Structures are given as structure tokens and as C-alpha cells.
Amino acid sequence: MKRIFIICLMAVCVVRAAENQEAPRAPGIEELKPTDAERDARLGWWREARFGMFVHWGVYSGLSGTWGGKAYGGYAEHIQRMAKIPCAVYRKDVAGKFNPTEFNADEWIRLAKEAGMGYFVITAKHHDGFAMFNSQVSDYNIVKATPFARDPMKELQAACKKYGIKFGFYYSHAFDWGEENGPGNDWDYQNPGGDKLLHGANWWEKFPEFLPKARKYVDEKSIPQLQELIRMYDPDIIWFDTPHKLPPEENLRILAAVRKAKPGLVVNGRLVRGAGDYESTCDRPAEFAPHEGDWEGVPTTNESYGYNQNDHSHKPPAHFIQLLAKSAARGGNELMNIGPMGTGKMDAADVAILKGIGAWWQINGESIRGTTRTPLAVQAWGESTRNGNTLYLHVFDWPRDGRLIVGGLKSDVTQAWLLRDKANTIHTPLKAVRMNPLDVRIEGLPKDAPDKADTVIVLDCAGEPQTDAERLLATNIETNTLRGFDAKLRGKLQFGPGKTKDAWVMNWTKKDDAVVWPVRLNTKATFDLALVYDAPSDSKGGKVVEGDAGKERSRAATGASGIYTVKIGAQSVEKKVRSGNNVRDALGKLTLEPGAFEICVSAKEITGEELLRLRSVILTPVQK
């Protein structure tokens, strides 16, 4: 009896020790920040690629945005959350019936290759907790829990190797709707970090009793699955998401484990901000705020990442071609998302977009692949990229008079040609004429744009391109659109996330705040002036909201009102703010003298919680 008592006492002590033990030590963020040399070594191929394919594909794809006869909008990969599908039902009726018999890895990767993509990232596990690979850590995976019973990741890995494309995974390390120990399910398991953040941000500070649960998930599923992904598939990149769902120290431990498993692996910036290899923009970006260093945009073909048969908002190929030029011009990458169907086939609309991009890429790919941030100011007609002493002009708005003016190029041009002529036997002769010390005019262009989406003109410069920072206003194109995202911000103004709905300058609460564009004009000209902005009439209050990209600031809109001033040189125009979205105020005609000056939007009076949310200033040349 005494022996039994001692054994029981020892067991109780062991349990209590386990309950009271300190959390595993998390390394400090400074320990995990890559050095410049480490970042350069990892990102060599990534910087060269500039363009990749993102794929959201999982058992949710079989539902295609519909459950129980109800069609859901938004992100189809979130349907378990949106419909509050019980985990047991999701396992049986969604995962248990997933059988993508038309999946063809070679076809997917061939389409990516033909579209010009240099890397491929696919969802190994999304927020539903289901592994799309042959996980030994959890049987809740595509090999063991579906009729398909194949490992598509092995097949995709082999196809990427065949076509010379870098391979990697998206891994949802902090969400797990399918696991009781996961941090994200608040309808079956009442976890404190639930999808709606029922307990608010930083739940671990308010409910520390739940910390052991989160640590158990990280120790027993998140880190082990990441380790096996690296061991089994040797990926080139891992893409993380939603770090705000876990305590910071858990994210640090995950990053440390990944770095240890493969030091050369590229890690995006959404796991531990400041310690990744590059920054990520918001989801579905339409505009890009200024970014130093390396960064990446993640657009998707419609408004969902997973396949959603209810979403027909697909953009044309031209949208992604121009977005690609815009990101490369600013030193970033574009990782464009496709959501394949539950059958394993790609949607015909997505295939059409890929083929449209591919047709453009076949001619113009060198203007993106291997390029670096442009030294030129934003041009009225489009964007530009650079490779050494060569500039690639991406012309979206073709000049009416057949003469393209490159503003701010101080270097001489030794040769100019249309990139499309590189593969042709007949070349269009182009001539570069020095207009003044700051500008060059390209003559001999065809009357109509050879490619309405983006015609690329190549300039070879005499040495490293020397440029001027002021933007040249053009008089021979349809409009000069000065986007808020290309402006200089004064005061405490901030750039919005950058999606179509929020590509604005925000937090306009002080009269000292201003949005400024330094510009030049070569000849006297008259323009129609307009301002485009949003001014919501009411709101739920200013706050920080949590999105898939992490924290995104949403400015309060109650009483967004006041009087704004647009000052152009010595002239100015005032107007009262009107409520609405994408409001376009016509501000009349202005005749401007040649020279350098600023275009400045400021507040004369703020009568609401904010003035407005500025999208752009538009100057349309008036034809004589």
C-alpha cells in the first residue's frame, strides 16, 4: 500500500510540474532578423523571378462557395467559418467526399511556366486545418481522409522541377478550425483566439489560462507539420499568414524551427514582422504604397482566393499585366493567385487570364524578369523597369501624336526600339531626341499602340541612368492621374491597405496634413482639374481591424466632411467635401505656366472626424 501511495504521489507531482512548467523559451526577434548577407543569399532566385503563381486549393474547393443551398461571397476557402460548419460534418461531408480526379500537376505548372511565372506557392494547410499532403503528424490529410488518396504535393513538386520553377507552400500556422487544440475554431471549441476574435486582440494577455492549449497546438501540429513539409518536399519558400492569432512568442518559436530545419528557405513577412525575408502587401492589392527593400503583392483573379463559382468578377489579363509592371517598377514581386476547382481542373476564366498574360510575356518577359526598381519618376503614360543600363518603358496610355516623352531622364539614349521587334525581322525605327537637360522624346512610334495593355519600349542608356525626381505633366495623352499612393505625405497621413476599395490616403484629421506631388511642365498648358476621393457619411468608429494580412487600420468615417484646397503652383481651388465613394469633383480649368511646382491637397477646414480619403488628382489636357 505504501509503495502504491508513493507511486501515486510521484505521478501527481509530475502532472503538477508539467502544468506549472514555464513556456518553452522563444528567441528574441533580433536573433531571428536576417542579416543583409543572409537575405541576399536566400532571395537571389526570388528577386530574379519577379512573378509567381499562388494557389488556394483544398477540400473547400469542392464546395465552390456554396453550403446548404446558400451561396456565399468573399473568400471561398473560409466557407467552414462563414457557414459555421461543424467539424464532424466538415470532416465527413466535405473532406470525406473530396476526390479531384481531374487534377493534373503537369498541366498546372505548364500554364504557370507559359504565363512567365518563376515560382509556385500552394496551400499545404489552410485555416480549416486539413493537410493537402501526406502528413504523418495528422491523419486529417488528403491521402488518409479522402477518396482521392494521392499526394498532389509530390506531383506538383516533380512538375516544378521539370519546368524549372521554384516550389513552396502556404501554411496556416495559427488557425486550425478542425483541431480542438487549434487556436481558431470558436463555434465548436470556443477557443479564445476565435476567427471573430471574440475576446479581442491579444487574447493571451486576457486569458492566460488558454496559453498551454496554444503551445500544445504549436508543439504537436504546427511545428511538426512544417518540419515534415521541409523534410519531405525540400521547398524553396514557405508563405505564412495571420500571425495575430497566436502570441508573439509562439510565432517566434515557429520561425526559429523553420530556420533551423532549412536555413536557406525563403520566408515571407507575415509570420514575424521585421524578421521575414521580404514584406507582404495586403490581400488583393490594386495599388502599392512605397516600400523599401523587397516586397510582394498577392492579387487574385476575382475577389476570392479559393474557387468560388458565385464570384464572376474576374479581371482581364491587362489588369494583371499592368499590375505586374507597377510592382516591378517599385522593386516588388507579384504572386498572382488562382483558385482551382474541386475537380482538380482550373476554371476556364482563370485559364484565359493566364493565357492572356502568357501571350504578352512571350514578347515582353525580359522587361519584368531580372529587373530592378526604376530610377525614373512615375510617368503619365505608364511605368518603367530597369536592368543595368537598360530602361523598359511600359506604356499603358499611348501618346496621341506618336511621340513619347520620358520625363526626368538626364542620361543620353544610345538606342531605342520596341521590344516586340526583337523577335521580328522588320524593326520599327525609333529615335531618341534630347529635348532639354531633363527630358528625352522618343519619335517614330506607330500611330496605334501595338499592345493596348502594355507596349514596351527599350532604351539603352549611355551608362547608369541618371534621373530627376519631379514628375513631368504630359499634354499629349488622355489624362495625368496623380495617385495618392505615388504622393509624398505630410503630417500623420497614412496610405490605406491598397485594395480597390481602400486605395486611398487616410487618417486626415489635422489641418497640417497634406498630400503633395512635385511636378514639372515644359510648355504652357490648360487642364481640366478633378479630385477623386471617398467620404463615408457615418461609421462604427475608428479602430484597428484584423485581416488575413494581419493588422489593417480602418479610419473612422463619422462626419467625414470639411473644405479641401488644391493648390497648384500659385493657383488654388477650394471645395466642400461631398459624401460618397469614388466621388469625383470637377474643379474647373487651370492654365499652368512652364516650370517646376507642387500640387498640394490640404484641409482648409475639417468639420468631421476626418476630412476625406484621397484617391487621386486628375489633370486632363484641354485640346485646342
pLDDT means over runs of 10, the chain (624 residues):
43 41 75 96 98 98 97 96 95 98 98 98 97 97 98 98 98 90 79 60 83 92 98 98 92 97 97 95 94 96 97 97 98 98 98 98 97 97 98 96 96 96 76 97 95 97 96 95 98 96 96 97 97 83 46 54 96 96 97 97 96 98 86
Q: For residue 190, what are the contacts with CB-CB under 8 A and spacing of at least 6?
A: none
What residues form DSSP beta bridges with 406?
A: 440
Q: Tell me which residue has cell 493596348.
A: 452
Question: Contact 504/533 with Cβ under 8 angstroms?
Answer: yes
**Identity (one letter) of the amino acid at 54?**
F
C-alpha to C-alpha distance for 599 and 490, rounded to whole angstroms: 13
Question: Contact 448/401 with Cβ under 8 angstroms?
Answer: no
Give the containing element (helix H, strand E) for 280.
Answer: strand 279-283
Using alpha carbons, select from 406, 372, 395, 611 the residue that is nearest to residue 513: 611
C-alpha to C-alpha distance for 346 and 145, rounded to whole angstroms: 23
| Domain ranges for the chain | 43-367, 382-468, 480-621
**Identity (one letter) of the amino acid at 456?**
V
Record the pTM. Answer: 0.92
Give me the pLDDT at residue 177, please.
92
3-state secondary structure labels for all residues of 142-206: CCCCCCCCCCHHHHHHHHHHHHCCEEEEEECCCCCCCCCCCCCCCCCCCCCCCCCCCCCCCHHHH
SS3 481: strand
Give me the pLDDT at residue 555, please.
44
Give me the pLDDT at residue 157, please.
98
What residues form DSSP beta bridges with 415?
A: 460
Question: Contact 168/239 with Cβ under 8 angstroms?
Answer: yes
HSE-up of residue 358 (Cα within 13 Å, Cβ side): 16
CATH hierarchy code of domain 43-367: 3.20.20.80
Considering only CA atoms, give the Rg of the chain: 27
Question: Contact 268/280 with Cβ under 8 angstroms?
Answer: yes
What CATH class is the domain 382-468? mainly beta
Question: Contact 534/612 with Cβ under 8 angstroms?
Answer: yes
Using alpha carbons, select from 277, 268, 273 the residue that is nearest to residue 238: 268
Give me the pLDDT at residue 22, please.
58
Q: For residue 12, what are the contacts with CB-CB under 8 A and spacing of at least 6?
A: none
C-alpha to C-alpha distance for 191 and 181, rounded to whole angstroms: 8
Give me the pLDDT at residue 199, please.
55
Q: What angle do CA 456, 460, 464 make, to 5 degrees?
A: 120
Give me the pLDDT at residue 14, please.
38
The grid cell for 368 is 519584368
Counting beta carbons within 10 angstroms of the beta carbon of residue 542, is it exposed (0 to 12), middle (13 to 18) or buried (19 or more)?
A: middle
Give the containing element (helix H, strand E) for 582.
Answer: strand 580-592
C-alpha to C-alpha distance for 517 and 378, rounded to whole angstroms: 11
Question: Contact 599/516 with Cβ under 8 angstroms?
Answer: yes
Q: What angle do CA 577, 580, 582 make, to 5 degrees?
A: 95
C-alpha to C-alpha distance for 431 and 417, rounded to whole angstroms: 8
The sign one gets for the Cα dihedral 58, 281, 169, 344 is positive
Q: Tell me which residue has cell 548577407.
A: 37
SS3 601: strand
Using alpha carbons, select from 226, 301, 323, 224 the residue that is nearest to residue 267: 226
CATH hierarchy code of domain 480-621: 2.60.120.260
Give me the pLDDT at residue 11, please.
42
Q: What angle do CA 411, 417, 419 make, to 5 degrees?
A: 115
Give me the pLDDT at residue 450, please.
95
The grid cell for 480 is 495625368
Using alpha carbons, select from 122, 215, 217, 152 the residue that is nearest to residue 178: 217
Q: Tell me which residue has cell 504622393.
A: 487
